[in-house]
Amino acid sequence: MPRREIRITGYGGQGIILTGYIFGKAAAIFDDRYSTMTQSFGPEARGSACASALVVDEEVIAYPYLRQTDVLIALSREGYEKYIDELNQDGGILIYDQDMVEPQELKGTIKMYGVPAARLAEELGKRIVQNIVVVGFATAATQLVAKDAARKAVESSVPEALIDLNLQAFEKGYEYFDN
């Protein structure tokens, strides 16, 4: 798979940075590829704008910043509005939490996938795993990394006491796309 550029955006406290970290770890450690990640967030710990940018490639990555976003994952309206114009109009993929973001009609051949990530996480009893639901959904929707690689990255990136809950959230998101 050639170079893929991914932007994940939302609010601080939604696990945006962890989501980027998990995809990067899945690619670099469990899927035998290269990845880099950069992040940005406001001065507040929770509730401010937050973004994670990830590059995944089969080749060594000489330039770690996004040039044109191939996949935009938006968990907040503010993040969606800030970054939607960076999304590649020729085959880009938009993944969004359909309870948080109402995308406008987009130009080009952008594929749009909505997932009720927060609601699916609440069904598991913990809204805090919304981001892991999105990891599962985006893994299925983009084939950015192999499912097994993503599962291993989730399992090795969350606290031990929460591994089962996070793996359930991952599966719930993955299965939601498959349905």
CA separation (Å) from 106 to 61, 102, 111, 172?
30, 12, 9, 28
Whether residue 140 has pLDDT greater than 80: yes
Output the pLDDT for position 40: 82
Q: For a pLDDT cut of 70, what percent of the chain falls above it?
A: 95
Whether residue 139 has pLDDT greater than 70: yes
What range does the domain containing 149 cover?
A: 4-178
CA separation (Å) from 52 to 39, 92, 108, 165, 172?
4, 17, 24, 23, 23
Q: What is the pLDDT of residues 42-56, one digit of tens each?
A: 655 566 778 999 999
Q: Do the beta carbons of residue 57 and residue 81 sit within 8 Å?
A: no
User: What's the whole-model pTM score?
Assistant: 0.93
Identify the CATH number of the domain in which residue 67 sits.
Answer: 3.40.920.10
Tokens linked to 148: 């097994």
Tokens linked to 120: 């699916």
Q: What is the pLDDT of residues 73-125, one digit of tens each?
A: 999 999 999 999 999 999 999 999 998 999 988 888 999 999 999 999 999 99
Structural domains in the chain (count): 1
